Structure 1
Amino acid sequence: MNQTGPTYKGTFVTLEGPEGAGKTTQVKLLSKELKALGVDHEVTRDPGGTALGKQIRRILLSNDYVVAPLAELLLYQADRAQHVAEKILPALERGALVICDRYIDSTVAYQGYGRELDFELINTLNQMSTQGLTPDLTILFDIESADGLSRLHPGGHDRMEREDIEFHRRVREGYRKIASANPDRFEILDASKAMTTVQEEFRKILSTHFGERHRLAEVMTRI
């Protein structure tokens, strides 16, 4: 699809949300259906969508390191630059549906609102690392911070999940502000509902936006 950045034949969808919102579970379920229908698609994540990215993700989320906020921001951008060049753009250029678990809006929410780093710097780096590639659609899985954190497995929290509740509240509020400022790109989904309800609403959003493209309307009927 066409936009202000690179042009391509495919469709680029990103999923955003606070910790414990359930977006990763939903995209796995969707991918299973897409595979069954033979739909060319890529499910990936930010950070960690490439071999290099997996190493960066390990550093970013490990509790073994104390990472300075600016270093954290730059590591995310390094991952994203590699991710877009190696995986996301090639898939879009061949006409695939690409669904990315987190992308540029996570950086604005976590490093901007959460860490309170400079927004102009973040936006400049986001533009550079992505080559201007903006999603066709972003779905925000919204949930109260405390409720989302309560869903996480005890004892398995990564460095970001272990931040205090006020950090996570800033992140969630940041997401809502980002969505409000970009209504043409964002859809907000209430992720506090039952998993089957979220699944239905998630697929309905995709079907409404893209219809028969990538057989998404057909996926809606397979719930």
Structure 2
Amino acid sequence: MAPHPGFFVFEGLDGSGKSTLSRHVFDLLSRKGVPSICFAEPTKFETGLYLRKFLSGELELSGEEQIGAFLKDREVSLQRNILPALKEGKIVLLDRYMYSTAAYQSGPEFSAQEILERNRACGFPEPDLLFYLDLEPEQALVRLEGRKEAKERFESLGTLEKIRNAYESILPENTVRLDANLRPEELADLVEEKILLVRGKGR
């Protein structure tokens, strides 16, 4: 029987380098002829575009509406992106997943753990490994301020500190912590090694 291709998630604060790292890893795997694909959440489907309006400040949502919108987009992400790719035998690299929703949407209304449990109650699968790019909130803010794009609603020091603490409270046992200050190429090599090890075990 063919080994399980593997489902791997990249998490961390905005500015930690998740998107860059996931693309680097995809390039490494592709050059070795390993079937793989890279996705991100929110998706590029209608449900994800709706969320991006909220993230950019164009749309206001209550706490419950935010969580509902993320759950809806995640269902689309799984049904249209992740599960079909796994069925085709491809390694799936995902930039943000349910841990981001739990960390970013947590607050007075809902704890990070409560939001994570709501995701699990939907039957969303756990990744084989979660790669967490650890970065101090102050460093993340400096990186974000250096970007040319418009700021998103979560890009302030106090908010980033809250999000980092929330992450720390929910990261699962299969988390691989990475120093976000390492060179992207070095990080990609570390991640690729871990992924190929899991793939070789046929998990």
TM-score w.r.t. the length of structure 2 is 0.84
**Residue 101 (structure 1) aligns with:** 95
Percent identical = 27
Aligned partner of 2:24: which letter? L
1:177 and 1:203, CA in 2 relative to 1: closer, same or farther beyond 3 A?
A: farther
Q: Which runs of 5+ in 1 are unaligned?
A: 1-7, 215-223
Measure the CA separation in 2 of the matches of 1:115 and 1:34. 42
Q: Structure 1 residue 141: deviation in Å?
A: 0.3
Q: Pairwise mapping of residues 1-223 of structure 1 onto structure 2 (< 5 A)?
A: 9-48=4-43, 50-112=44-106, 114=107, 117-119=110-112, 121-129=114-122, 131-152=123-144, 153-154=147-148, 156-161=150-155, 164-179=156-171, 182-183=172-173, 185-193=174-182, 195=183, 198-208=184-194, 210-211=196-197, 213=199
Aligned residue for 2:10, secondary structure, equals strand
Aligned partner of 1:22: which letter? G
Measure the CA separation in 2 of the matches of 1:63 and 1:199. 34
Asked if the contact 1:16/1:101 (under 8 Å) is kept, the reply is yes
Asked if the contact 2:42/2:49 (under 8 Å) is kept, the reply is no
Question: Could you list the runs of 4 or more consecutive aligned residues of structure 1 that deviate by over 6 angstroms after TM superposition?
Answer: none
Q: Structure 1 residue 119: deviation in Å?
A: 4.6
Asked if the contact 2:131/2:175 (under 8 Å) is kept, the reply is yes
Aligned partner of 2:197: which letter? G
Measure the CA separation in 2 of the matches of 1:115 and 1:17. 21
Aligned residue for 1:110, secondary structure, equals helix
Q: Structure 1 residue 132: deviation in Å?
A: 3.5
Asked if the contact 1:53/1:83 (under 8 Å) is kept, the reply is no
1:33 and 1:201, CA in 2 relative to 1: closer, same or farther beyond 3 A?
A: closer
Aligned residue for 1:38, secondary structure, equals coil
Q: Structure 1 residue 208: deviation in Å?
A: 3.5
Aligned partner of 2:178: which letter? L
1:62 and 1:150, CA in 2 relative to 1: closer, same or farther beyond 3 A?
A: same
1:116 and 1:212, CA in 2 relative to 1: closer, same or farther beyond 3 A?
A: closer
Q: Structure 1 residue 109: deviation in Å?
A: 1.0
Aligned partner of 1:211: which letter? L
Aligned residue for 1:134, secondary structure, equals coil
1:79-106 alpha-carbon deviations (Å, 9 max, x no partner): 0011111111111122210010010111
TM-score w.r.t. the length of structure 1 is 0.77
1:38-83 alpha-carbon deviations (Å, 9 max, x no partner): 32212001111x4234422332322222222221111111100111
Greater length-normalized contact order (CA 8 Å, ≥ 6 residues apart): 2
Q: Which runs of 5+ in 2 are unaligned?
A: none
